[in-house]
Amino acid sequence: MRFGNEWLRLGRYFPSRRTERTPSAPPLEFPRSNATLLLLLACAITAVTLLFTTVDPWLDKAGILVGGLDVHVYRDGAWRILHDQPLYSEPTLRGLLYTYTPFSAIVFLPTNLIPWEFLSPTWLTLNLGVLFGCVMMSWRLLGYRWNARLATASALIALTCAFIEPVRTTLFYGQINLILMLLVLWVFSRDEHAKLRGLGVGIAAGIKLVPLYFIVQLLALRQWRSAATAALAFLGSVVLTWLVLPADSRQYWTSTFFQSERIAPDTHPANQSLRGVLAHLLHGPAPLWLWLLLALPVLAAGLVLATALHRHGERLLSVTLAGLTSCVVSPFSWGHHWVWFVPLLVYLVHRAQSNPRWWFAAAVLYVSIGGWTYHWSETWVSVGVFLLPPSWPIAPVLMNMYVIAYLVALGAIAVLVRRRDQSSCVHVTVSDRKDPELDCVSVRC
């Protein structure tokens, strides 16, 4: 007994680092009740109706079926490197400048195999499939079993999300945001010790630099091998492109990379980032020092909370918060960059299965980020609450809606993490009647 007490005494000062393995939880099953599916069906029908009635689907520069501008810019960039044309010094389609990495132009080479007139509908179809894949991958991160019922619910959620502005604009312009998000979700859904885990993050960052944030996220989670894999994949994309396209690589990394004005002015209403908020409020470019003064604490808070969520088993909410944080701290974030609202909506639907009040939270978020339109004329239509008339009294709120939604979500997540921390603390009292000095109380969290 005394031998055991000595170990107890030592344990008070040198707690063991060894943890017992607990069996993995069984996969969750999507509720068998048809009520949820019927509700999702109603939401999908409403969303598709809004998608095709708020704007004429064939209206030039706004209709969902006549878009594809950005994917044609991607194709033009790939065509330029095929024909030894400069990638950054000359404008592309409709006078737009190519802003992505030179590695992205290599990735887009297959688009030149698709006839010009078929590129937009092909990319639209691809993006719809990827949207469905993002929803399914979100369920996987939540621990659900994949089956026909879950696939049906995912298809309905994907159709519902087609109307929110980030997705609607991604589909219309033929953007690549959904594909990048699927790569990141795939990485975080894999086992920590899986081979080449992190590769998807590195490839996504090689195409568009914003996903570099997820390497920082992996470091914060102390997933060193995954972070190293992602970093090496990104560096590999840079080195490979420099060997293949030395002139364009030199131009991008020594000049174009620093020309933020190639994207749009900070004051553009579609700049849904902290820097955009400052520019909207100041009616001019945001000072660098003021932006950093706000962005760095938000960056730190996002990392801390995302790490805490992962520790509590909230894998989907953790990576979703990281995605949203990457948008809010980026110098310039178009509305379509915020496709990370999709997994957030999936998470809210998941929580609503145990507490119907979460449906209200999902509805509020959905209305806040919907692809609501304003018809300035018969041919000029804006999409998104931040593009509603600036003369409206509520315009300062609408113009910064995504950042406001992020800050509300950040606060709610902070409360959630605090509650999880408190509920996970177990008070254990160890008593020894023969030697009261050995009595101790330990708190394990």
Tokens representing 107 are 């990735």
pLDDT for res 17: 35
Question: Is the residue at 15 inside a domain?
Answer: no
Question: Is the residue at 58 inside a domain?
Answer: yes
Host domain of residue 61: 34-422
Query: How many domains does one find in the chain?
Result: 1
Question: Is the residue at 18 inside a domain?
Answer: no
Question: Is the residue at 4 inside a domain?
Answer: no
Task: Give me the tens of pLDDT residue by residue for the chain, a chain 445 residues long.
Answer: 443 443 333 343 333 333 333 345 688 888 777 899 999 999 999 999 999 999 999 998 899 999 999 999 999 999 999 999 999 988 888 888 898 999 999 999 999 999 999 999 999 999 999 999 999 999 999 999 999 999 999 999 999 999 999 999 999 999 999 999 999 999 999 999 899 999 999 999 999 999 999 999 999 999 999 999 999 999 999 999 999 999 999 999 998 887 766 677 888 999 999 999 999 999 998 899 999 999 999 999 999 999 999 999 999 999 999 999 999 999 899 999 999 999 999 999 999 999 999 999 999 999 999 999 999 998 899 999 999 999 999 999 999 999 999 999 999 999 999 998 888 765 444 444 455 444 444 444 4
Question: Is the residue at 17 inside a domain?
Answer: no
pLDDT for res 24: 59
State how far the Cα of 4 lies from the Cα of 95, in Å rounded to an integer.
Answer: 78
The residue count of the chain comes to: 445
pLDDT for res 256: 82
The count of other CB atoms within 10 Å of the CB of residue 266 is: 22
Residue 174 backbone class (left: φ over 0; alpha: ψ -120 to 50; beta: rest): left
Note whether 183 and 60 are within 8 A (CB): no
Question: Is the residue at 381 inside a domain?
Answer: yes
State how far the Cα of 356 lies from the Cα of 23, in Å rounded to an integer.
Answer: 30
State how far the Cα of 213 lies from the Cα of 209, in Å rounded to an integer.
Answer: 8
Question: Is the residue at 283 inside a domain?
Answer: yes
Question: Is the residue at 432 inside a domain?
Answer: no
Tokens representing 144 are 């659900």
pLDDT for res 249: 94
Note whether 184 and 211 are within 8 A (CB): yes
Sign of the Cα pseudo-torsion (275, 138, 70, 255, in order): positive
